[in-house]
Amino acid sequence: MSSPACRILLAVSLSFAAAAHADFHVSPGGTDANPGTTSRPFATLERARDAIRTLKSKGPLPKGPLTVWIHGGDHRRTNALELTTADSGTPDSPIRWESAPKETARLLGGLAIPASAWKPVADKSVLERLDPAARPNVRQVDLRSMGVRDFGEMKSRGFSRSTVPSHCELFHGGRPMTLARWPNDGQFTKIAGFPATSGKGDDHGGNIGDIAGGFTYEGDRPARWRDRGDVWVHGYWAWDWANSYEKAESIDLTQHLVRTAPPHGLYGFRKGQRFQFLNVLEELDQPGEWFLDRKSGLVWFWPPAPPAGTATGNPETLVSLLDQPLIRLADVSHVTIRGLVLEATRSSAAEIRGGTGNRVAACRIRNIGNHGVVIEGGSNHGVSGCDITETGDGGVNLTGGDRQTLTPGGHFVENSHLQSQGRWSKCYVPAIHLQGVGLRASHNLIHDHPHCAILYWGNDHLMDFNEIHHIALETGDVGAIYTGRDYSFRGNRIRHNYIHETGGVGMGSMGVYMDDCVSGTEVFGNVFYKVHWAMFIGGGRDHRVENNYFIDCDPAVRADARGMDTTPVWRSMVDDFMRKQLAAVPAEPYRQRYPEIRSLDPLYAANNDFKGIPAENNVITRNVCVGKWLELGWHAHTNGFTETDNFTSGDPGFVNAAKQDFTLRPDSPALRLGIQPVPFQQIGLREDPDRQRLARLR
């Protein structure tokens, strides 16, 4: 086969094989009887999937990517695009599902309601229930006349509740609209109290009402509502870090008593905590609110005015219908979903379970009922260069690796912009959730979140070069980056992140929150600006806080030793729950990988007179602080915290602190203490082909 003729024959054969395995095309204007070419595209994604299966049945795919080009327009989904093992590529022959060049293909889980379908409200009985100011502005549409029969169900959701597809939602101008409520969105009324017979202690010195006994409210607002049969309540019933939505089983107008329907949540009702009533037609009283009558299928809606400076026209209005993910990969490998808009499902946008080497890249994921992307199991899956906005629950959930063997999972989220997660569930539905071993969140921009930005459980995770701001906008006692309550969570690294201008109610918010005695974390080279408690060590051990910059925080570092507290709630935590958590992982490889764990063994010895777990071996070194520095409290003592070479007074020599450029000048006095420059300009989003591709999507 070395002669020129043989080489030419081989080249021709390879060229023919490549031509035989050409890419496929899908277009809303195509038909599945077509061959799937550029000029004669398929109509459905499933037809393209089946064409690839047929191709693979004839032999291995040639080297190089095989692409399904998805042409511009809406690809309406009434079921998930299901890919299985049969739809996998290989490392040498990956398969891509991608928007056609210079086109925007949208996988749509909802129905677009044309502007012409909205009519003025003519029914006097409805008009009488509306606020006078709303009557001329509210419009209605009959969803049943448009073929919609399944509106979903409102379901209890929030803290301690499972994530399930819920009811349909209304989106207008690319934003979710607000279900009619009182007080209006962003505002709350307060729990007045609870029946005297239901009070009990809360383990923290307070009193809490039994959840089955209900709670009382002030004023007579519910007396205005003609139909109270499907009223819901949303509240932070006992704590500012635990919200839920519950159906109001009954509203007693005489006693001002609300009882919620079972199954009930974990906590009861505390006087003074925040709550709202929602799903009330009479409270449709401002632009952006809407209400659905599930019996008639009628929707009433007060459209918001277009923002100043934008084109007027008719902004798109969508109602979400699909109760499945738009895309579901099960035991699939080497498949990339790229350059698509994924929108308006009641479930999650994409789910990947099992397999290896899949990517969701350069996608615009918005107006989603549950999570943006869920990845469970498998290895080395990634989300890169995506914009993920307005999800009902979290942004990206990554679960991978084996905590028994400390085998890394290799999943990652990088160079993605995550904004406005937690539209419904609020608490513990972070922009990025890392669970398992060896996962990564890098170069992301995260903001406008009601609770925490990055939540992690497990080992050997890396969170680096992320910019996080304006989080904890509706909650308290929360961290921008948070974990807690497990002595075996070790090897995690939080490096070179910029955390700034965080919110918080009640206790406020923290920058890096090492809660409830979690231990063994490296916090290196981060910049904290205008954060309440920037670095918080809540009783843990073996943390290393090094080379961070703290500017205008209150304080820079706060620490306690709650593991030594003798009150039942804390003693039970470390002597029971955390003892069991540590026993649930094997002695090896944990004590070999993390030798500091061995110091816990004599404290937890079977015959030992247990006296608590002190906060020990925490090193705080070579940090820069402008403002309040260190607070130790609640059983903390200095021999558990080693401070060395910290720059805590004077001008550290930032390039331009007024413009938030916290790069150290070459003449900075902090550098003489061994403090290293933080690569501040490298933090956050980076320009790359995925973000360039994303910028072209509408």
Q: Which two tokens stand for residue 3?
A: 């002669």
Give the number of residues written for the chain.
698
- Same domain as 206, residue 311: no
Query: How far is 98 from 226, CA to CA, in rounded Å?
Result: 50
**Biggest CA-to-CA distance, the chain:** 99
Task: Give all strands (DSSP E) within 186-316, no chain letters.
Answer: 189-193, 199-201, 207-209, 215-217, 232-239, 242-252, 257-260, 274-278, 289-293, 298-301
pLDDT at 12: 31
* 376 part of a folded domain: no
List, edge to edge, every strand of the sheet that includes 533-538. Answer: 81-83, 327-330, 350-353, 373-376, 396-400, 432-437, 454-459, 478-484, 509-515, 533-538, 557-560, 630-633
Instruction: Count the alpha carbons within 13 Å of 140 in the hemisphere toward its beta carbon.
Output: 23
Residue 616 has pLDDT above 50, yes or no: yes
pLDDT at 17: 36
| pLDDT confidence tier of residue 698, bands split at 50, 70 and 90 | confident
Residues 6+ apart with CB under 8 A from 500: 467, 468, 469, 527, 528, 529, 530, 531, 660
pLDDT at 308: 63
**pLDDT for 103-127, tens place per residue?**
999 999 999 999 999 999 999 999 9
Query: How far is 626 from 498, CA to CA, in rounded Å?
Result: 16
Residue 10 has pLDDT above 90, yes or no: no
- Write the DSSP symbol of residue 177: P
User: Shortest CA distance to 561 belongs to which of 635, 641, 617?
Assistant: 635
- Same domain as 619, residue 655: yes
| pLDDT confidence tier of residue 310, bands split at 50, 70 and 90 | low
**pLDDT for 409-418, tens place per residue?**
999 999 999 9
- Same domain as 233, residue 125: no
Are 32 and 42 in contact, with CB atoms under 8 Å apart? Answer: yes
Domain that holds residue 253: 189-282
Query: How far is 385 from 694, CA to CA, in rounded Å?
Result: 7
Query: How far is 46 from 447, CA to CA, in rounded Å?
Result: 36
- Same domain as 202, residue 136: no
Check: pTM over 0.85? Answer yes or no.
yes
pLDDT at 60: 94
- Residues forming beta bridges with residue 96, ordered by sequence position: 67, 336
Query: How far is 317 from 408, CA to CA, in rounded Å?
Result: 43
* Mean pLDDT value across residues 125-148: 97
Cβ burial 269-296 (10 Å sphere, 16+ → b, else e): bbbebbbbbbbbbbbbbbebbbbbbeee
Mean pLDDT lowest among 195-209, 294-308, 526-540, 635-649? 195-209
* 394 part of a folded domain: no
Are 631 and 641 in contact, with CB atoms under 8 Å apart? Answer: no
Residue 638 has pLDDT above 90, yes or no: no
* 594 part of a folded domain: yes
Query: How far is 409 from 381, CA to CA, in rounded Å?
Result: 9
Mean pLDDT lowest among 12-16, 134-138, 179-183, 581-585? 12-16
Query: How far is 72 from 420, CA to CA, in rounded Å?
Result: 27
Output the average pLDDT for the chain: 94
Query: How far is 339 from 348, CA to CA, in rounded Å?
Result: 17
Phi, psi dihedral angles at 344 (to 5 degrees)? 65, 50
User: Which string of DSSP letters, residue by residue, matches 259-287?
Assistant: EEPSSP-S--B-TT-EEEEES-GGG--ST
* Mean pLDDT value across residues 560-588: 96
Are 281 and 291 in contact, with CB atoms under 8 Å apart? Answer: yes
- Write the DSSP symbol of residue 345: B
**pLDDT for 516-527, tens place per residue?**
999 999 999 999
Are 177 and 288 in contact, with CB atoms under 8 Å apart? Answer: yes
Cβ burial 590-628 (10 Å sphere, 16+ → b, else e): beeebeebeebeebbeeeeeeebbbbbbbebbbbbbbeb
Q: Which two tokens stand for residue 557?
A: 């570092």
* 212 part of a folded domain: yes
pLDDT at 596: 98
pLDDT at 2: 45
Are 134 and 375 in contact, with CB atoms under 8 Å apart? Answer: no
* 77 part of a folded domain: no
- Write the DSSP symbol of residue 307: P
SS3 label, residue 581:
helix
- Same domain as 278, residue 134: no
User: Shortest CA distance to 246 belongs to which of 201, 276, 203?
Assistant: 276
- Same domain as 623, residue 598: yes
pLDDT at 163: 80
Are 349 and 372 in contact, with CB atoms under 8 Å apart? Answer: yes
* 133 part of a folded domain: yes
SS3 label, residue 682:
helix
- Same domain as 630, residue 551: yes
**pLDDT for 210-225, tens place per residue?**
889 999 999 999 999 9
The total number of structural domains in the chain stands at: 3
Q: Which two tokens stand for residue 96?
A: 């891509």
Instruction: Count the alpha carbons within 13 Å of 218 in the hemisphere toward its beta carbon.
Output: 12
- Same domain as 650, residue 541: yes
Mean pLDDT lowest among 15-19, 139-143, 229-233, 604-608? 15-19
| pLDDT confidence tier of residue 314, bands split at 50, 70 and 90 | confident
Are 257 and 216 in contact, with CB atoms under 8 Å apart? Answer: yes
Residue 20 has pLDDT above 90, yes or no: no
Instruction: Please name the residue that has the structure tokens 């239901």.
Output: 198
Distance of CA 8 to CAs 11, 12, 16, 18, 344, Å?
A: 5, 6, 12, 15, 52
Q: Which two tokens stand for residue 414?
A: 């990088």
Q: Which of 264, 293, 317 is the last residue of a domain?
A: 317
Phi, psi dihedral angles at 104 (to 5 degrees)? -115, 110
* 106 part of a folded domain: no
User: Shortest CA distance to 452 belongs to which of 496, 515, 365?
Assistant: 515
- Same domain as 277, residue 134: no
Are 543 and 514 in contact, with CB atoms under 8 Å apart? Answer: yes
* 540 part of a folded domain: yes
User: Shortest CA distance to 184 belongs to which of 291, 304, 278?
Assistant: 278
- Same domain as 677, residue 621: yes
Phi, psi dihedral angles at 254 (to 5 degrees)? -75, -50
Instruction: Please name the residue that has the structure tokens 């079921």.
Output: 79
Prior bond to 263 cis, omega within 30?
Answer: yes
Query: How far is 37 from 146, CA to CA, in rounded Å?
Result: 33
In the chain, DSSP finds a helix count (H) and a strand count (E) of 7, 59
**pLDDT for 26-47, tens place per residue?**
999 999 999 999 999 999 999 9
- Same domain as 602, residue 664: yes
**pLDDT for 70-95, tens place per residue?**
999 999 999 999 999 999 999 999 99
User: Shortest CA distance to 614 belongs to which of 585, 583, 587, 638?
Assistant: 638
The pLDDT > 70 percentage for the chain reads 95
Residue 6 has pLDDT above 50, yes or no: no
Are 419 and 689 in contact, with CB atoms under 8 Å apart? Answer: no
- Same domain as 291, residue 272: no
* Mean pLDDT value across residues 166-181: 95
Residue 7 has pLDDT above 80, yes or no: no
User: Shortest CA distance to 100 belongs to which of 339, 361, 365?
Assistant: 339
Query: How far is 379 from 440, CA to CA, in rounded Å?
Result: 12
Q: Which two tokens stand for residue 215?
A: 């709670």
Are 604 and 579 in contact, with CB atoms under 8 Å apart? Answer: yes
pLDDT at 21: 52
- Write the DSSP symbol of residue 340: E
* Mean pLDDT value across residues 189-205: 81
* Mean pLDDT value across residues 308-331: 87
Burial of 264 (0-12, 13-18, 19+ CB in 10 A): middle
Distance of CA 343 to CAs 105, 374, 390, 692, Å?
A: 11, 15, 10, 20
Q: Please report, as a single letter, which amino acid is at residue 60.
A: P
| pLDDT confidence tier of residue 15, bands split at 50, 70 and 90 | very low
Residue 463 has pLDDT above 70, yes or no: yes
Residue 588 has pLDDT above 80, yes or no: yes
